[in-house]
Structure 1
Amino acid sequence: MVGAVIYALAINYFLIPNRIGEGGVTGLTAIGYYTLKISPALTNLVLNGILMLVGWRYLNRQTVYYSLWAVLWISIFLKIPVFMPYQTSQTLIAAVTGGVLMGISMGLIFRAGGTIAGSTILAKIVNRYLGIRNGSAMLFFDLSVAIPSAYVIGFQNMLLTVAELYVSAVVLNKFLDAVGAKRSVMVFSEHNQEIGQALSSQLGQGVTMLNATGFYRQRRQDVLYYICSQQNWTRVMPIIAAIDPEALVVTDQIRSVRGVNLSKL
């Protein structure tokens, strides 16, 4: 619902007042409003209802239900009267701001397990079966609507629409990476048993010990493998350094960790 509020604010307060389009179904709702004055809430509900039938075939039921919930609330919030819309001659500001808000709103809805239907339904399907990132797949489908919209909103506003879509895709990808990101740590040390015990007891997470063999000396040694959240990351290195300041530590940022529902990867 919070994502739906932000989404409606982006459309009603930044995009439509400055005659900036959008991609996918939202782009079609904007075109319908600009040309025939059809309510965006009505167009959003009808067209997304049709696309939800496609999602019913290819996505899990929970995603479909949450998407219906998001689409319903977006349509409701779009119907709320607009007070003090942001209109400016510097329309790039409106496009960038609208793109940031769109990316955040979709990130919130995606993290909750839903979509905003439209091109995000298609993006979820592509992500599930082809592994393409949600924001990138959605940008492709959105551009297929945004570029032809130049015939309605003009070439300059079409370019602003493309800029807005790009910003929203980047923000969406960054948001999903940041919220779902984890840190992986590999530790090579003579004191891995003590380090593992300290990490497990102080941070309350499991630690894995791997059997490794150094190629040059053919020497067997345990390697500690640990996955932690971004919040715990600042506590990991001091724990390791306190036990073995000479330890070799290899770290990496990983996008997602799942041990139950692998489809969400």
Structure 2
Amino acid sequence: MIVQKLNQLLGKRVVEIILITIGSFMVAVGFNAFLLPNRIVSGGINGLTIILHEMFNWSPSIVLYVVNIVLLIACFLILGKEIFMKSILGSLLVPMFISLLHTLTPATHEPILAAIFGGLCIGIGVGLVFVGNGSTGGTTLIAKMIQKFTNIKLGILVGFCDGLVILSALFIFDIQQVLYALISLFITSRVVDMVQVGPDLSKNLFIISPKNERIAELLMKELDSGVTFLPVEGGHRLDQKKMIMTTIRESNYTNIKQTILEIDPEAFMVVSSANEVYGKGFTLFRD
């Protein structure tokens, strides 16, 4: 919703550039302040640069520039101009910011804290880049190029590429460092999802009750929730019933559940998480 308002105020292209720039800066901060000084190889090309820095003392920013430029050229040839244009800004900004911030004082020398906050920082950064319809290059581009010639899902390919980088760290670092890397990688992936979807989680409720009309009236009038009736058929008696489907904000769930059970203590309810809901009363569609 915030992004949509900014799009209307500044224009979509300007907002995308701002998001990719801020996101790339956050990635560089996480890398220089947490991961590199603590030698935490949290997957991706960034992790590979830490391995090469440890082995040959190569500059991470130079390695990133070289690798990302090669990948961008391959991306243009294999995936086309559209994906190339979406990837070019983030792929070049990340190594630039890493180079500019190479003198940044390490935020901590405690590996577990570095893994947690490094993963948090990079997750926020990559998430912002994705919200800006950009890419930081690296293993994402490699996975997309492999996917073009296979039927393997992109998420599996990215995980495989990141896994290879972390696995290679076993030849340089001890197992404890690799475990820290796995913690960081997990946090990064979860935060990326949260930034893209947003923290405003919702829940889907499916309710079957002989008092469904009273429950629906309560949901619509008193709790201001939309309601949909779905026809269902019982499995044992094959009797026709109506099931209520409604989507509510997670913060209202406990109150709504208790109210429904007060109307019908034997109401049958199925609850599932809905991470992203569009429409009236929830998130508005982005342009």
Does the TM-score normalized on the shorter chain lie above 0.5? Answer: yes
Counterpart check, 1:165 vs 2:186? no
The partner residue of 1:155 within 173, 182, 186 is 173
Tell me if structure 2 keeps the 8 A contact 1:96–1:163.
no
Tell me if structure 2 keeps the 8 A contact 1:95–1:161.
no
Counterpart check, 1:141 vs 2:157? no
The partner residue of 1:76 within 91, 96, 99 is 96
Distance 2:231 2:115 in 1: 53
1:15 alignment partner in structure 2: 35
For 1:177-196, what aligned pairs fall within 5 Å after superposition?
180=197, 182-196=202-216
| TM-superposed deviation, 1:211 | 0.7
Distance 2:214 2:135 in 1: 45
Distance 2:131 2:147 in 1: 14
> Aligned with 2:37: secondary structure?
helix
| TM-superposed deviation, 1:206 | 4.6
| TM-superposed deviation, 1:219 | 2.0
Tell me if structure 2 keeps the 8 A contact 1:92–1:160.
no
The partner residue of 2:190 within 174, 182, 201 is 174
2:136 alignment partner in structure 1: 116
Cα distance, 1:198–1:172 mapped onto 2, change above 3 Å: farther
| TM-superposed deviation, 1:213 | 1.6
Task: Give the TM-score taking structure 2 as reference length.
Answer: 0.66
1:216 alignment partner in structure 2: 236
> Aligned with 2:36: secondary structure?
helix
Tell me if structure 2 keeps the 8 A contact 1:212–1:222.
yes
Distance 2:208 2:240 in 1: 11
| TM-superposed deviation, 1:35 | 5.1
Tell me if structure 1 keeps the 8 A contact 2:68–2:92.
no
Uncovered stretches (5+) of structure 2, i.e. residues with no partner? 1-20, 280-287
Distance 2:261 2:160 in 1: 46
For 1:90-105, what aligned pairs fall within 5 Å after superposition?
90-105=110-125
Cα distance, 1:246–1:31 mapped onto 2, change above 3 Å: closer
Cα deviation, 1:162-181, whole Å, max 9, x if unaligned, reads: 32432233224433565645
Task: Give the TM-score taking structure 1 as reference length.
Answer: 0.71
| TM-superposed deviation, 1:186 | 0.5
Distance 2:92 2:36 in 1: 20
| TM-superposed deviation, 1:189 | 1.9
Cα deviation, 1:210-256, whole Å, max 9, x if unaligned, reads: 11122333321110122344355455435635654543211122556
| TM-superposed deviation, 1:141 | 0.9
Uncovered stretches (5+) of structure 1, i.e. residues with no partner? 260-265
Cα distance, 1:234–1:139 mapped onto 2, change above 3 Å: same
Distance 1:69 1:203 in 2: 46
Distance 2:158 2:251 in 1: 30
Tell me if structure 2 keeps the 8 A contact 1:48–1:118.
yes
2:6 alignment partner in structure 1: none
Cα deviation, 1:79-138, whole Å, max 9, x if unaligned, reads: 2242322463x5454344434433443344445544322113345678995446x4x653
For 1:240-255, what aligned pairs fall within 5 Å after superposition?
240-241=260-261, 244-254=264-274
1:4 alignment partner in structure 2: 24
Q: Percent identity?
A: 27
Distance 2:68 2:140 in 1: 10
